[in-house]
């Protein structure tokens, strides 16, 4: 017999409800009816659903309810001093030094001293700190917050809406093309184990074209529990290139949800690079709302020890003539586990849909594991959809070829591993970012070589 979720709650499930009750009056926007309305509705959704567990298909391989035993208190911005050296340390120098319009958030707090807000304004991008904007949201933010490809069946997203305390909201003016990426740096703090709940909102108005890089790094906090949501609205004929670099502490829980909606003739090219944290859940909900658009959601993850990285994608082709591509590559060492779940839904009438997904993992140990579950739900007849998945060890014949040319075994393995993930990096247009990924994976591999 199965009890309804609300009759039995785990300690952690209850802790989130208590956290909300305790923080309710102090959360940003507590006195704004729009914001508090959003939050109330979200906490009801969460209370109804509880934490996701393995009997829920989308969470089959990541049983959050079982894994999450203790919920850490909500982090409040306390003004941790952060300098350039800390950034380089937290993100890797190649990422910290990325030529960009940089916006730095420490514990969710947008830090003007480390950010180029005026540069972005001058280039045609409005930037507001979410914590401030929630107190009295501008009308453009009200029009999108919680409305980009919305869902009411995701408890992690609902928790984020109920508890979001920081982040940044950006609006790119019509027709603006930026000359360099916007780099949203998100750092946790230095103190006791804590939860941080942040949300970024990016609105690319029609005809605009931008690159958004989100990087997550660690200043040294223990046991971080992050719930990060990014809402992205890609206007008609607009283009967003979106990159995420995850490099948090070894014991961090990283829950990331992207909500993406594309207008007509729009482009969205995303890449997720994951290297840190203990447990990562990267979920992307993307939806084509206008015809003639294309998206590419790709990524790479390098995991070792007992790390767990779950990538779960849902791409909805709601209208005709759209193209979607997905390519994920993972390198798994030790007892690490990689999960890829890719679902493509083609709605009735969404003719001329072209959707392809591919996932592959390189297993460096006998105990590493990769689970891949593609799903196609197709309700239109004139479509081309496909998927594939591979998982295997380093090809010994290739290894021998390199060794026979004088390259020592460990170095030869590293070269083959880099070649494997490098294929995914090719999907990233920005050369600086591609190089940053290559440098970060080389650093990851150098640990193996020692």
x/- site string to another protein, residues 393 to 422, per CB under 8 A?
A: ---xxx-xxxxxxxxxx-xx--xx-xxx-x
Binding letters toward another protein, positions 349-388, x by CB under 8 A: ----------------------------------------
**CB of 366 vs another protein, minimal distance in Å:** 17
Least distance in Å: CB of 142 to another protein?
Answer: 47
For another protein, which is the closer residue by CB, 3 or 404? 404
In whole angstroms, the minimum distance from the beta carbon of 442 to another protein comes to: 13
Per the CB < 8 A criterion, the answer to whether 224 and 249 are in contact is yes
Can you give 305-330 as a three-state secondary structure string?
A: CCCEEEEEEEEEECCCCCEEEEEEEE
Nearest approach, Cβ of residue 343 and another protein (Å):
28
Q: Which is nearer to another protein, 175 or 388 (CB)?
A: 388
Burial of 419 (0-12, 13-18, 19+ CB in 10 A): exposed
Q: Which is nearer to another protein, 4 or 406 (CB)?
A: 406
Closer residue to another protein, CB minimum distance, 251 or 423: 423
Q: Judging by beta carbons within 10 Å of its beta carbon (0-12, 13-18, 19+), is residue 254 exposed, middle or buried?
A: buried
Closer residue to another protein (CB): 204 or 424: 424
Residue 435 CB, shortest distance to another protein, in Å, is 14
User: For residues 328 and 420, which CB has a smaller minimum distance to another protein in the complex?
Assistant: 420
- Minimum distance, C-beta of residue 421 to another protein, in the bound complex (Å): 8
Calpha distance 300→279 (Å, rounded)? 15
Instruction: With CB under 8 A as the rule, give the number of residues binding another protein.
Output: 22
- The alpha carbon dihedral of 168, 17, 144, 37 has a sign of negative
Closest distance of CB 411 from another protein, Å: 7
Give the Cβ contact number of residue 33 at 10 Å. 8
Q: Which is nearer to another protein, 179 or 396 (CB)?
A: 396
Please tell me the total number of residues recorded for the chain in this structure. 450
158-190 core/surface letters (b: 16 or more CB in 10 A; e: else): bbbbbbbbbbbbbbbeeebebebbbbbbbbbbb
Using DSSP, state whether 45 is helix, strand or coil: helix
**Helix or strand holding residue 236 (H, E):** none
Instruction: Give the residues lining the site for another protein (CB under 8 A).
Output: 396-398, 400-409, 411-412, 415-416, 418-420, 422-423
């Amino acid at each position: 017999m199965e009890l309804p979720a609300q009759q039995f709650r785990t300690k952690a499930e209850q802790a989130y409800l208590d956290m909300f009750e305790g923080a309710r009056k102090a959360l940003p926007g507590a006195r704004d009816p729009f914001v508090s309305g959003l939050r109330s509705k979200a906490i009801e959704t969460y209370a109804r659903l509880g934490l996701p567990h393995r009997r829920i298909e989308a969470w089959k391989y990541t049983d959050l309810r079982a894994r999450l035993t203790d919920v850490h208190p909500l982090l409040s911005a306390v003004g941790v001093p952060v300098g350039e050296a800390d950034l380089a340390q937290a993100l890797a120098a190649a990422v910290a030094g990325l030529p960009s319009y940089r916006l730095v958030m420490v514990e969710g707090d947008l830090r003007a001293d480390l950010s180029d807000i005026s540069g972005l304004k001058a280039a045609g991008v409005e930037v507001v700190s979410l914590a401030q904007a929630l107190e009295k949201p501008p009308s453009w933010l009200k029009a999108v917050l919680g409305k980009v490809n919305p869902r009411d069946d995701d408890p992690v997203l609902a928790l984020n809406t109920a508890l979001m305390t920081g982040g940044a909201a950006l609006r790119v003016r019509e027709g603006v093309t930026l000359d360099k990426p916007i780099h949203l740096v998100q750092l946790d703090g230095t103190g006791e184990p804590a939860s941080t709940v942040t949300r970024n909102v990016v609105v690319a108005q029609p005809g605009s074209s931008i690159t958004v890089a989100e990087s997550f790094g660690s200043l040294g906090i223990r046991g971080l529990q992050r719930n990060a949501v990014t809402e992205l609205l890609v206007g008609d004929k607009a283009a967003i290139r979106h990159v995420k670099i995850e490099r948090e502490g070894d014991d961090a829980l990283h829950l990331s949800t992207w909500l993406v909606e594309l207008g007509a003739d729009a482009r969205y090219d995303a890449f997720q690079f994951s290297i840190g944290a203990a447990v990562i859940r990267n979920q992307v909900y993307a939806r084509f709302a206008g015809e003639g658009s294309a998206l590419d959601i790709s990524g790479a993850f390098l995991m070792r020890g007992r790390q767990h990285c779950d990538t779960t994608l849902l791409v909805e082709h709601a209208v005709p003539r759209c193209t979607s591509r997905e390519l994920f590559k993972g390198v798994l060492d030790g007892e690490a586990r990689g999960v890829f779940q890719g679902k493509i839904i083609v709605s009735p009438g969404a003719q001329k849909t072209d959707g392809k997904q591919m996932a592959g993992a390189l297993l460096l140990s006998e105990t590493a594991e990769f689970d891949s579950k593609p799903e196609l739900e197709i309700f239109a007849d004139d479509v081309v959809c496909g998927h594939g998945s591979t998982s295997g060890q380093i090809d010994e014949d290739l290894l021998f070829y390199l060794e026979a040319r004088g390259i020592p075994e460990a170095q030869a393995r590293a070269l083959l591993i880099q070649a494997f993930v490098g294929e995914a990096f090719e999907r990233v247009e920005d050369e600086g970012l591609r190089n940053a990924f290559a440098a970060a994976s080389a650093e990851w591999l150098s640990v193996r070589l020692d």
